[in-house]
Amino acid sequence: MWKFEHRAKTLGYKIIAGVDEAGRGPLAGPVVSAAVILPRNFSLEGIDDSKKLTPKKRDALSPLIKEQALAVATGLSSHLEIDRINILQASLLSMKRAVENLSRPPDFLLIDGKFTIDMKTDQSAIVKGDSKSISIAAASIIAKVTRDAIMEELHETYPEYNFIRHKGYPTKAHKEAILKYGPCPCHRLSFRGVKEVVNEK
């Protein structure tokens, strides 16, 4: 899990940030990214792609990552931005914001996925990076926990959609709720499963 970090170090980079997002697939809420800079002596068992971890495990690891990391920051792109510029561009924008929010500027970025972000900082995109890079995996956990908390807050405002259970993902129950109640103000109106309902009304 340290291979990409070590490779960047051998190339002369000193402050390496892992960057990942959570929430590309849901029908509601923002896409949230995290950027994490880990110290060389970082040691925490169980760090992995957040999708492979239980919510309980993610919730346990998140504060420990924040405690040990040199810097952690998040950035988001709202459902309105997602509808305006599309989910890929919104995801990359949220990643950029997360990096810009770091308390210390990194000199190299490890980005999860196929695309780099619009920054002058040297960077490398790594497909399935959240299961290959310790820094990206840590970022994936922070991003997921942060987004889940946002969706739990939205549940308080819009309980009929049961966001606390599915976090906005297109489950059968969620799609049925959209059909019954129509979209709420935090739904992504450009997404299949929502836009059809809007067009019908």
User: What confidence score (pLDDT) does residue 43 get?
Assistant: 86
Write down the mean pLDDT value for the chain.
95
Nearest to 49 by CA among 120, 136, 114: 136
Residue 28 · residue 154 · CB < 8 Å: yes
User: What confidence score (pLDDT) does residue 127 get?
Assistant: 97
pTM of the predicted model, to two decimals?
A: 0.95
Q: How far from chain centre, in Å, is Cα 195? A: 24
The C-alpha atoms of residue 62 and residue 146 are separated, in whole angstroms, by 9
DSSP state of 116: -
User: What confidence score (pLDDT) does residue 1 get?
Assistant: 83
User: What confidence score (pLDDT) does residue 161 get?
Assistant: 97
The two tokens of residue 115 are: 């695309």
User: What confidence score (pLDDT) does residue 201 get?
Assistant: 55
For the stretch 143-171, pLDDT in tens is 999 999 999 999 999 999 999 999 999 99
3-147: in CATH 3.40.50.620: no
User: What confidence score (pLDDT) does residue 4 get?
Assistant: 96
Nearest to 116 by CA among 96, 141, 86: 96
DSSP state of 24: S
The C-alpha atoms of residue 36 and residue 137 are separated, in whole angstroms, by 9
Q: At what angle do helices 134-157 and 55-68 cross, to 10 degrees?
A: 120
All residue ranges of the chain with pLDDT < 50 are none
